Structure 1
């Protein structure tokens, strides 16, 4: 089995100052293309540690991707570490010096001498072109592995991977391309899903995985690409997940965005407890953003004519007022926090629904807002799909509710 490793470099990555999106992107891409990673590590800007990690990976993997540390500054140590790991010297590569000078000339500038460092590569290495930036990549054989060294800038890294690295790998190694089908759920627990899916018999080469990120749990089906049993297996899993399945290969937000766009509905929002969280979240989807007529974000002292009512009636009044005053098709409201929970209400041309829910566990404030925003969005999804607006949730308890169909 082909072993592929990735080394991310830089103190800012190691200490969490920036998120290592390059590693996540490469992991997903290589998995899909049949080169799943077997090891991923992060090393700071320390020459000895980096050289030792490159050497270790070159002895245990067949392919190694080293990301970052190819810039012109003193903390960019990857080329030097590669030379140490390979036990060779560094040499100035004239072709890359010329390429950098041309890049600066196109900008009407003279290349600083410090950039010469980016053309100092280990002896015997092969230049990997970088048409975007000044940091070339390079490839070399070290021990048992082919090691590819890439710039850390995401746009440069991705282009180099697609154009320089993947073609080499696909030419040299037999691939077993796989795919990952993602089923997004809301209202279920990981243990509950695992129990429900116990009856599923996986064909050879198939695996199930789970990813929990409040308030959703993603069921991942790993399978050989274009396998004839995939469709039936996914359908069986989806059936067991029931109407808690909120998105097939796309999250709830995208699912609702697709449904709202398809039907052409406009939406008005009113938020108390969530404090604008739902509004901000909806604007992450360009389709939903275009269909939000208006959003009211109300503080605890606002709208006394609504808050003076009983919680269910107050939230319904807010949803109805938001809908009518903004001439929207749909109204969605999240009420104030009560001693026994928070009300989420939906008003449509076909009826009105409100439920007072309490949580079965203690959430951090932001997570609590996310859960209730997701509940409101899921109520909307259910109505758009013609399903019962109130669904089952293992983390929420429905204290009381109102359902009036017109």
Structure 2
């Protein structure tokens, strides 16, 4: 019985084999809180091995003690052989020792040169353009599947998006159109009054609001209210891996998430533009009649006379284009967002900025094109 107790007693000793050292473990170390013997010499340079042929049991405490002794050796690039340990203990120690590599000072990286910075920016810009074009292509493919009747889009989702982006946007569109129309009418009338041409206030307000201002205001309002919401909604679904779940279930995320939002703004864009134009024309009538003494019927006749079909079509086309650009920007940023709350917030901000930039560029291009076409 005494011999058996001695066999189970935890033991550890360092043995010298020439320039090499061997740490020999024996007995039952499970539940033992004793320390291992100190290193035989603090400046060991030769190879070190650990053997455990007589080791009967072990736990995490022994693994921690071994790591404390072997880690300084590994940091000095001393060769340590763990093949004599049980497989489980060997794997734990190998993982722990590899997780703490030798602390070596690395020189500070040199800042990139001007050529490198320019190249990096060019590559980033190209990748951004490529991502945008790829996204637009996916949307067109989704639209083609919908027209063939092979889309995963549900009619209820489309109606829901129309309700969220259309009627719920009317109050803010009305407020902004009223205030901006008031500014346009008042500033224009102040200049026309100098020449006694108050009767032309209707022409100025009607053409300006219907052709340019209403569509631009609707686009900016939708960028802040709807585009940001699209990016936040889709970005949150991406962060929560809901888009990955849809793909796993065989549902195309472009059909299910992107296409309803794009079609909804395609439908409500011209309607909101027409509504904003009516509000702007109404506030122009109010300014001309109340402040500058233009008779109500005179203003109405002048507005109807100046409100030609080309002006109306140009305004509706611009409003539709701006609305679609808002939907594309919001969905693009949402689909490409990262998987964290910070990334979703960045995507929301980027969607508003990108939508406004696209709207301004599209407004410039469309204005030049329509003027060239004398339309």
TM bucket (normalised to shorter chain) is: under 0.3
More helix by share: 2
Q: State the structure with bigger RCO (CA 8 A, min sep 6), 1 or 2.
A: 2
> TM-score if structure 2 supplies the norm length?
0.25
- Bigger Cα Rg: 2
> TM-score if structure 1 supplies the norm length?
0.23
